[in-house]
Chain A
Amino acid sequence: MSSTMNTVGRPTAPNPVDHDYKHPTLTGGRGLLQDEKLIFELDGWDKTGVDLPEPSADGSDLGDLARAAPIGLPGLSEPEAMRHYVRLSQKNHAIDLALYPLGSCTMKHNPRLNEKMARIPGFSDIHPLQPQSTVQGALELMDQLAHWLKTLTGMPAVALSPKAGAHGELCGLMAIRAAHQAKGEHTQRRKVLVPTSAHGTNPATAAFVGYQVVEVAQTDDGRVDVADLAAKLGPDVAAIMVTNPNTCGLFERDILEISRLTHEAGAYFYCDGANFNAIVGRVRPGDLGVDAMHINLHKTFSTPHGGGGPGAGPVVLSEALAPFAPAPWVVDDGKGFKLVEFEEGEADQAFGRLCAFHGQMGMYVRALSYMMSHGSDGLRQVAEDAVLNANYIKARLSDVMSAAFPDGPCMHEALFDDEWLKGTEVTTLDFAKAMIDEGFHPMTMYFPLVVHGAMLIEPTETESKQELDRFIEALRALAGAAKAGDVERFKGAPFHAPLRRLDETRAARAPRLRWTVPEGSNRAAE
């Protein structure tokens, strides 16, 4: 059979070659996926991609302080830089590409309106130490953001400045510490109770602030063991740190009892608000007896994750803790907005300052833009759809995978264990890597620690039913393959990613943490 040809002999249909044969390319290239060297390997030692006037100053007035030796920074012209980073970008999975169901991370759509708003020069191009008379709109925005956060959580105060969730935890525990100090109880209250299912940041933060971490057991249905908590509460306990909804994706049914017992013991209730997105608009943490809770603006309020930050972690505070909030904060004194920047006057009980300036303004703008867009009705729908999507996944996968807590609904994330993989030789890690080949980012694996081989799936509310069905069918097909003994598919996965599995042991054994001049290169002789 001959190929179809056009009038100049160009084939217009594929050659009828019968093959499954895949040959390696001659250069190592793979179609659209470009191999890309390090910037240090592009021979740009004398290049620059910026045009600046030649200055008259040469630094000779600085004498020995001037930097004489080569710095070792390569440059790229603008087209080379663009290509370098675009090539690299194509090796990343992203929310905008496909479902990114990392449990506990809340990878939801990032509206571009928020990006546009954050880049208005009136927000992006203002200096933290300009006269306050020239930044009244920025202070008003902080005041509005504070109003939204306080109203949504039912809490009377908020410290905006913490720069991430873990920084917020630090803020909350410092406020708690200051409150105990004010009552003269700090030296006796040395313990912080943390459930075994907690995020690693909880015990790390408590230890960081000098507390002794005591673990609280978990019940068989994935909640805090209230009896164990009650037994461990006492005059030596400063606080409990409980995530609600918890890291198993479950609402702590006994939350009111937990807060009552905590307060009765003279301790404070720190709530890890990483999962606030499951209840926003439906439940106010203030109604649960929470004393402090950080809000990850990059989770619930969709400021972009940016490859690992920057985040933002404002902390809402109860009446009892509000006086100890760190500087700075914004007040409206009737004549205008004012920053309270020092621990004096109205702020004389503030526990100090957590960072140089006023926190993550760029994230405040994005979060407020997101909140205003949704409104109170939209935010309630956010929680409902997030929970609905997770329950839908749980319902449609529970016959082929084992739900860690099958009874009752989950909240915004569905948790499976590896019971269903027993006897297949496939591990949770293998299963996750095979998902990469199917075009999905794996779920959070092996967390929470209380569930063996955990797979924590958080779809978020911004996934359509069509995308969820596509994801569910892919996981069902993979589960079928695992049970049918198609082990190779899993053990070697991923096969279709930019790289195969990476050797983490090797990376840690002899760490190479920066580029260095290769031995024998001309540059080494300089």
Chain B
Amino acid sequence: MRYLPLTPDDRTAMLAAIGAKSVDDLFVDVPAAARRDGFVDLPRVAGELEVERALSALAAKNTPAGSVPFFCGAGAYKHHVPATVDHIIQRSEFLTSYTPYQPEIAQGTLQVLFEFQSQVAALTGMDVANASLYDGSTAMAEAVQMACRVTRRNKAVISGGVHPHYVRSTETVVHAVGIETVRQQIAVDAEADVIPAIDKDTACVVVQTPNVFGTATDVAKIAEAAQAAGALLVVVVTEAVSLGLLKSPGEMGADIVAAEGQSIGNALNFGGPYVGLFACREKLVRQMPGRLCGETVDADGERGFVLTLSTREQHIRRDKATSNICTNSGLCCLAFSIHMSLLGEAGLRRLARLNHQQALKVRDAVAALPGVEVLTPRFFNEFAVRLPVNAAEAVERMAEGGVLGGVPFSRLEPGAGMDDVLLICATEVTSDDDIAILAKALGAVL
């Protein structure tokens, strides 16, 4: 087996050094009833070529986003990732290292984390960011729990514009710990509806902007209302590139930001691995979940970086930890950080405007189709339309014609009475030709 360096002679010599007759002697502690002698019923060893053939055959049954006109968003976005990003993250020193438990020989990873935290804080307009969580949805669940710790209250008011999968992921976890959630009526443009729902038991208000329908909202008034009631404002962002064009959550008064960072540096990957961005105001930092990297000096006074404030974490605090999270999303946050360094502020702003421009073009093209009503009033790179037909069926029929024309809202929330709503997204990879093809394909299924 190509990954196993020991030879039969090595094994014999090593068993002799141990004083064992056979490798079975090393498994004596396994109860006899649970020992298995033969091989389990699965295929045997396979060469690279065989594995590559088998997996390539599976991959060939999928339609890659880059192979067709593509308009799906709703929490995962198709962007161009510079070649440099994938090259660097495959360097052995990043790919095959682990959590920087020994900072003297992990300064590469640690400095990247420090830069990542600094970038995320700037991007979100917040004071501090952690070294990432699993993804945006789990970041939202952590944010709600953190808000409850901070305020010692037990209720979260969730806007009807928050991505339904985020809501479901959050509710699953927080209901288990007895946190109540009050979700507002699903609506395209009604974030302010959360305000009357805030009361003295409210730990936090969760709003998403741009929301799942693409609607961008200034949440400053919501922040004021929440904070006046002693609650925190959690802002969810699923499209990180939007922050190159839209006012940041920090500028609008957010206390905690839970965002998905996939858009920058990371491929679609059928939903994972992604990278959860998590940022908050300085005074809340000791209630933050997840890893934090901080600056310090070494014995010679040289600047260096270490994991810090670990007394919040499970390996020190065990059942008193702020979260059970153990890893971060290391390689994905490296990819994010490299891509962000390549973009810089100038590149990010231009990228964001390009996304916006292409989305406006798509809107104009589909708005001209008979019976199509654009629902989203203000958006970054995605918007919702009402079709005169069932959206899921329209999407299936467009797919048969080689166009991935968007995400039917019913895929996220069946039974919301929005079976005719289609979410359409454009990014910098969307060409003008793609837009013309979409308009034709959508027109043909109406």
The 6 closest A-B pairs by CB, nearest first: A75-B344, A357-B271, A122-B59, A352-B172, A137-B61, A306-B331
Contacts of A408 in B (CB 8 A): 28-29
Most chain B C-beta atoms within 10 Å of own C-beta, residue among A78, A391, A441: A391
List 16 other contacts, CB 8 Å, given A75-B343, A199-B315, A441-B105. A48-B347, A66-B246, A66-B247, A71-B123, A97-B93, A117-B52, A309-B332, A353-B169, A355-B135, A355-B169, A373-B51, A379-B42, A385-B6, A409-B26, A501-B299, A503-B299
- Per-residue interface assignment for chain A, residues 220 to 248, with 1 indicating a CB less than 8 Å from any chain B CB and 0 otherwise: 00000000000000000000000000000
Whether the Cβ atoms of A170 and B93 lie closer than 8 Å is: no
Query: In whole angstroms, how far apart are the Cα atoms of A136 and B112 in the complex?
Result: 37
Whether the Cβ atoms of B58 and A140 lie closer than 8 Å is: yes
Contacts of A53 in B (CB 8 A): 354
Whether the Cβ atoms of A309 and B61 lie closer than 8 Å is: no
Contacts of A64 in B (CB 8 A): 218, 247
Contacts A409-B20, A508-B309 given; does A75 touch B345 at CB 8 Å: yes
Whether the Cβ atoms of A359 and B414 lie closer than 8 Å is: no
Contacts of B107 in A (CB 8 A): 88, 91-92, 498-499
Query: In whole angstroms, how far apart are the Cα atoms of A307 and B307 in the complex?
Result: 12
Contacts of A144 in B (CB 8 A): 58
Contacts of A134 in B (CB 8 A): 62-63, 399, 404
Flag whether B178 is at the interface (Cβ < 8 A): yes
Closest Cβ–Cβ distance, residue A33 to chain B (whole Å): 10
Whether the Cβ atoms of A513 and B117 lie closer than 8 Å is: yes
Whether the Cβ atoms of B29 and A65 lie closer than 8 Å is: no
Smallest CB-CB separation from A511: which chain B residue? B294
Smallest CB-CB separation from A503: which chain B residue? B296
Contacts A169-B324, A307-B109 given; does A78 touch B342 at CB 8 Å: yes
Smallest CB-CB separation from B111: which chain A residue? A88
Flag whether A424 is at the interface (Cβ < 8 A): no
Whether the Cβ atoms of A205 and B324 lie closer than 8 Å is: yes
Most chain B C-beta atoms within 10 Å of own C-beta, residue among A113, A134, A279: A134
Smallest CB-CB separation from A35: which chain B residue? B302
Of the residues A50, A119, A311, A372, contact of B43 by C-beta under 8 Å: A372
Flag whether B199 is at the interface (Cβ < 8 A): no
8 A-B Cβ contacts within 8 A? Answer: A74-B344, A86-B88, A92-B94, A127-B268, A137-B58, A251-B30, A395-B17, A461-B4
Contacts A55-B350, A117-B55 given; does A306 touch B102 at CB 8 Å: no
Whether the Cβ atoms of B137 and A356 lie closer than 8 Å is: yes
- Per the CB 8 Å criterion, the residue count for chain B at the interface is 206
Closest Cβ–Cβ distance, residue B332 to chain A (whole Å): 6
Query: In whole angstroms, how far apart are the Cα atoms of A467 and B10 in the complex?
Result: 12
Contacts of A74 in B (CB 8 A): 341, 344-345
Whether the Cβ atoms of A82 and B96 lie closer than 8 Å is: no
Closest Cβ–Cβ distance, residue B134 to chain A (whole Å): 4
Of the residues B39, B302, B347, contact of A380 by C-beta under 8 Å: B39
Flag whether A392 is at the interface (Cβ < 8 A): yes
Contacts A55-B354, A205-B324 given; does A499 touch B342 at CB 8 Å: no
Closest Cβ–Cβ distance, residue A286 to chain B (whole Å): 9
Interface locus among A38-46, A261-269, A315-323: A38-46
Whether the Cβ atoms of B105 and A498 lie closer than 8 Å is: yes
Contacts of A97 in B (CB 8 A): 92-93
Query: In whole angstroms, how far apart are the Cα atoms of A54 and B305 in the complex?
Result: 38
Whether the Cβ atoms of B4 and A378 lie closer than 8 Å is: yes
Closest Cβ–Cβ distance, residue B297 to chain A (whole Å): 6
- Per-residue interface assignment for chain B, residues 105 to 142, with 1 indicating a CB less than 8 Å from any chain A CB and 0 otherwise: 11111011011011101110001110110111110000
Whether the Cβ atoms of B353 and A58 lie closer than 8 Å is: yes
Flag whether B152 is at the interface (Cβ < 8 A): no
Whether the Cβ atoms of B114 and A515 lie closer than 8 Å is: yes
Of the residues B119, B136, B175, B404, contact of A356 by C-beta under 8 Å: B136
Flag whether A519 is at the interface (Cβ < 8 A): no
Closest Cβ–Cβ distance, residue B68 to chain A (whole Å): 9
Closest Cβ–Cβ distance, residue A440 to chain B (whole Å): 10
Interface locus among A12-20, A360-368, A477-485: A360-368
Contacts A86-B88, A151-B40, A501-B298 given; does A385 touch B17 at CB 8 Å: no
Closest Cβ–Cβ distance, residue B143 to chain A (whole Å): 14
